[in-house]
Structure 1
Amino acid sequence: MRRWLETAAQDLREYTEVLNALNVFPVADADTGTNLAATVETAAQAAAVLETPDLSELVTLVGQAALEDARGNSGTLFSVFLTALGGGLDGAERLTAQSLSNGIGAGSVRAWSALTDPVPGTMLSVVKAAADTPIPEVGETGSNHQFAEYLRAMVTAAKDAVLASTEDLEVLHGTHKVDAGALGMLIVLDALRRAVTGQEASGAHLWAGAESDAAAPDDQAIPVNVQPVADILEEMGYAYYPPAHDEDASTLEALQDAHTGVEVMATVDLTALDAAQIRHELAEAGDSVIVSAVSQIDEDTWRWRVHVHVQEQRQAVDVLRGRGTPRNITVTGLSKDDRGRQFRVDPTDLG
């Protein structure tokens, strides 16, 4: 678990510029790489300090920590996925093909349901492809041989979903590029494959679950020599970045220069009914609406993390204040002139 997130954070830092350049959906604000890398880094830091022998609890708590400080649409969806993955691991003493399949399935369902208007061809399609991957009938059930083969098949399915995004997303039609969020999620899943199978410098493994990332496997895992991310980058002409020539560069840049408005994210305590109403009202005010439960406070109330794109921050804040007391509010500019500028808002200052 810890090794996976450390590896994913490192990989995302390496690919940040590529992901930012590809970012044209849901808003072409050139920050998918930055946001996803920062959010996964938060998850990795949380995993490093949390101490629990329960694998499900560890992943859930790490996901909740990431969700509270998630950056952007991609970071929020990753955190939602990770939190639900933890719940899907309930009862698992260690990672196996079956336990991970259960977790990814739970994560996929939660991620798709978190968005008011989910769109295929995005990171949602990647997690669904991973969730739909059948467990191979090789080796002993629960063995590391089976686990390694499952990871290979899962990452291959995720890679195919990334490549399909060129046709699935209308905004990418006529280009040779893939969706940034989809590629980012593939990077995260492939980091899991490499961490588990030991295909990294440290050679650490995750076989034993939460207590020890480096425990010896019960049998010898089969090396999985696949490079899905590198294959996709080469196919797009990004084997070296920045490329000497990119025929799609002007198209992507034009899309990224066209957007206006702001991204608003906040935490608020609500009943499930109020959360549903807020989702509806935010969908009328803007788009890219995500409303996802972080943790339960009491019998009727949950802590929710909210994400939305609107033209003016007050449109979102007023909706939230109508049913609760929002906090941890961040506003990020989406227009060309304000892109990347993020600041925190005290709702009491808005009158």
Structure 2
Amino acid sequence: MKRWLGKAETTLGNHSDRINAINIFPVADGDTGTNLYLTVRAAAAALVQGPGGEPTNDVGAVLGAAGQAAMEQARGNSGTLFAVFLCAAAEPLVGHARLSAPLLASALNRAQIRAWSALSEPVPGTMLSVLEAAARAAGECDSAHNGDDSNQALGLALDAAVNAALEAVVRTEDQLAPLHAAHVVDAGGVGMLLILDCLRSAVLGEELQDELLDGLHGYDVQDPHIHTGMPNDDGVEVMCTISLPPLAAATLRQRLDELGDSVIMSQLGSRPGHGESASARDVDDDDDAPETSYRWRVHVHVPEAEPAVALIRSLGDPTDITISQLSMPRDPGLPVVHNAHES
């Protein structure tokens, strides 16, 4: 897993500019490559040692720690979905010392289900479709080989997943009207394809496929930065971490849907409910009953930040609040610049 995420960090760093260049959906802010790179970098940094600072051979535990770090430091829509993918993929791998074709199929399937459900209004033709296609291909390959857990079967499943992901990326151009009009494929989908090819490369000890992205519309080096010619998107991106019981979390998601779009809420973990605001506790009719609060990573695009932040604060005590202008292009070589950052 460490080799995988280290390789993905390097690869996304090398490709972030071209991914940014075709980033026009859901908003043309040209930062998908940067957001994925910075989020993967956070995940890779968490793998210097195993959970708790002790080395471990538990693939799921290691990947889960990386996923939690990615979620805490996720950037943008694409980075948040990658973190969701990583956390979910880790769950079927807990207790296992090596990856196998059956485990790969289970991990990818869990990840694609969780990623689709994290968004209030998931849209086909994005990195979600790419992940779904990869999971389906890995599952079909595993079924065809009757759950063979050999390294050879794992190689076949990884190849099938990457090939299916590539085909899904190509299809994105015709699945979303803005991409079709601009004659480009989905930026997040390309990023997920690269991440999956890095997994294949790291597990099999093979080189990355240099020709993998050849022919993808809008991705050639000489192609212009498509997003710079698109109309500016008004509004801001608000992200934070907050601890809420399930009912309050459902309320927050519903009300954020009313305020804006691109709503993502993904669970970070659980702990006994304490420290919530009175408003959060009041959503339960039985004030004496103990509540379990879950930590959530929240992401939303809204016209103005203030109503969204006020809503979030009315339900709990958020931390790591970031507010970014959607129309502000970001330099892929620099950290994302926010116009506000609270804790």
Preserved contact between residue 22 and residue 218 of structure 2 (Cα < 8 Å): no
Which of the residues 300, 303, 320 maps onto 2:295?
303
Q: How does 1:118-197 map to 2 (within 5 A)?
A: 118-133=122-137, 134-136=140-142, 137=144, 141-197=148-204
Task: Note if contact 1:163-1:232 (Cα within 8 Å) is conserved in structure 2.
Answer: no
The whole-number CA distance in structure 2 between the counterparts of 1:294 and 1:300 is 13
TM-score w.r.t. length of structure 1: 0.84
Residue 90 of structure 1 deviates from its aligned partner by 3.1
1:322 has 2:314 as partner: yes
Query: What secondary structure is seen at the aligned counterpart in 1 of 2:213?
Result: helix
Deviation by residue 1:13-62 (Cα, 9 ceiling, x = unmatched):
00010000010011110000000000000000001233333221111121
Instruction: Determine the structure 1 residue equivalent to 2:277.
Output: none
Please give the secondary structure, in 2, of the residue aligned with 1:289: strand
Gaps of 5+ in 1: 201-225
5+ unaligned residues in a row in structure 2: which ranges? 273-290
RMSD after superposition = 2.1
Is 1:4 aligned to 2:4, yes or no? yes
Aligned equivalent of 2:325, options 325, 333, 339: 333
**Sequence identity of aligned pairs in percent?**
44
Q: 1:11 to 1:324 in 2, by over 3 A?
A: same
Corresponding letter in the other structure for 1:287: D
TM-score, length basis structure 2: 0.86
Distance 1:250-1:80 versus aligned 2 partners, 3 A rule: closer
Query: What is the letter of the counterpart of residue 301 of structure 2?
Result: H
Q: Within 5 Å, give how 1:259-274 maps onto structure 2.
A: 259-274=233-248
Amino acid at match of 1:332: S
Instruction: Tell me, in whole angstroms, the C-alpha distance in 2 between the residues paired with 1:65 and 1:251.
Output: 32
1:250 positional shift: 7.8
The one-letter amino acid of 1:230's match is E
1:280 aligns with 2:254: yes
Distance across 1 between alignment mates of 2:177 and 2:250: 29
**Deviation (angstroms), 1:65:** 1.0
Q: 1:124, 1:29 → 2: CA distance?
A: 19
Partner of 1:49: 49
Give the corresponding residue for 2:88. 84
Structure 1 pair 177/233, CA: closer, same or farther in 2 (3 Å)? farther
Deviation of 1:162 (Å) = 0.5
**Partner Cα separation in structure 2 for residue 77 and residue 60 of structure 1:** 15
Is the contact between residue 96 and residue 144 of structure 1 (CA under 8 Å) also seen in structure 2? yes
Number of corresponding residues: 314
Higher relative contact order (CA 8 A, sep 6+): 2
Q: 1:152 & 1:234 partners in 2: Cα distance?
A: 19
Is the CA contact 1:8–1:40 (under 8 Å) kept in the aligned structure 2?
yes
1:42-101 residue CA offsets vs partner (Å, 9 max, x unmatched): 000001233333221111121011101100000000001100111122343310011111
Distance change (3 Å), C-alpha of 1:309 and 1:105: same
